[in-house]
Amino acid sequence: MSDLVSVIIPIYKVERYLERCVRSVMDQTYDNLEILLIDDGSPDRCGKMCDAFAESDPRIRVVHRKNGGVSAARNTGIDASSGQWIFFVDSDDFIHRDCIRQLLAAAERSGTDIAVCGFERTDGDTIRGDVRFPVTEVIPRDEAMRHVILEEDTSFVWGTLFRRELFQGIHFPEGRTFEDLATVPLLVNRCRALARVSAPYYGYFQRPTSIMHELNARSQYNVLLAWLDRCRFCHENYRELEKRCLAQMAHYYLLVCSYSYPGEPYIRMARDLVSPYLREMSSAAAGKEKLKLLIVRVFPGIYPARNALRRR
């Protein structure tokens, strides 16, 4: 194995965790790396820490940019990278020493364009569980897409090694969160096959304040946007998976409604977004959600009114 792997780390307000993240990449047993630290206008010490890392390791390059969100930072990293492979690490996470070597070996051994590993969940120094694939295996593109849409077990870009060519013409949607959900199907659709490595080589740190833990109308609206993208993609390419996307659209539309308060724009924005799909969503929705869709259609302000009363 001799290919250059570009490791892209988008960075914003993580000075407490950044040392662990970057050191875990620097200490990889596979050392032909290009480590791109994308300082997304972080207001803390992250920018200076990145510059110090670059002085200590010639494989590290730092890009300081105006804050634009994780999608914009990842896109900047893709454009600045030069490796044959691209690997993403979130800046509060970490990877085990043999992570990149094992993923690259799996991809090269099987001739695949994507390799993904299992991951550990941690809330600090304590491992709270892990997600392992049943076996290390190679799965063809259509089966991989079913895993992405139906099981969502390969829906993240972190912990996944991508052949660079897959990103030609594909970038993460900027100005949104949960961007992985919208982007991964496009990348998987371009691959010949996908290698899954059972072992949890990626350390996923669950911060209580992270975007993934936000429960409000805005965050659920962003998930709804991603599932709408998936629905449109499956309508064009994988009709047998479209029903799952419609059911998820119904679910997250109801969550937008459930977390909305009077005066917030997201319930109106979500209603406008899903209105062409309401009949199909209702048909695909789970039992109780069919009734809830009918209720919010007849009484669109019921959830904001309820939430306003609870807030008193």
pLDDT digits (tens, 9 = 90+) for 233-250: 999 999 999 999 999 999
Alpha helices in 62-191 (DSSP H): 70-80, 99-110, 141-146, 179-188
pLDDT of residue 89: 97
pLDDT confidence of 309, banded at 50, 70, 90?
Answer: confident
pLDDT of residue 242: 97
Which is higher by pLDDT, 129 or 204?
204
pLDDT confidence of 221, banded at 50, 70, 90?
Answer: very high
> Average pLDDT in the 125-144 region?
79
> Which domains does the chain carry?
5-211 (3.90.550.10), 214-311 (no CATH)
pLDDT of residue 42: 97
Query: Tokens 């992570």 sit at which residue?
Result: 99
Alpha helices in 87-176 (DSSP H): 99-110, 141-146
Q: What sign does the CA torsion over 233, 239, 240, 243 have?
A: positive
pLDDT of residue 312: 66
Residue 213 in this model has a pLDDT that exceeds 90: no
Residue 208 in this model has a pLDDT that exceeds 70: no
Residue 210 in this model has a pLDDT that exceeds 60: no
Instruction: Provide the residue type at 74 as one letter.
Output: R
Task: Give 150's DSSP letter.
Answer: I
Rounded CA separation 220/177 (Å)? 10
Rounded alpha-carbon distances, angstroms, from residue 147 to 108, 141, 142, 143, 154: 22, 10, 9, 6, 7
Rounded CA separation 139/123 (Å)? 31
pLDDT confidence of 94, banded at 50, 70, 90?
Answer: very high
Residue 124 in this model has a pLDDT that exceeds 70: no
pLDDT of residue 209: 57
Rounded CA separation 42/12 (Å)? 5
Rounded CA separation 217/303 (Å)? 11
Average pLDDT, the chain: 92
Q: What is the DSSP string of 179-223?
A: HHHHHHHHHHTT-SEEEEEEEEEEEEE--TTSGGG--SHHHHHHH
pLDDT confidence of 197, banded at 50, 70, 90?
Answer: very high
pLDDT confidence of 298, banded at 50, 70, 90?
Answer: confident
Q: What is the DSSP string of 24-58?
A: HHHT-S---EEEEEEEES-SSSHHHHHHHHHHH-T
Task: Give 265's DSSP letter.
Answer: S
pLDDT of residue 186: 97
pLDDT of residue 235: 96
> Average pLDDT in the 101-127 region?
88
pLDDT digits (tens, 9 = 90+) for 248-269: 999 999 999 999 999 889 999 9
Rounded alpha-carbon distances, angstroms, from residue 285 to 30, 113, 203, 238, 257: 46, 34, 34, 19, 16
Verdict on whether the full-model pTM lies above 0.85: yes
Residue 127 in this model has a pLDDT that exceeds 70: no
pLDDT digits (tens, 9 = 90+) for 155-188: 899 999 999 999 999 999 999 989 999 999 999 9
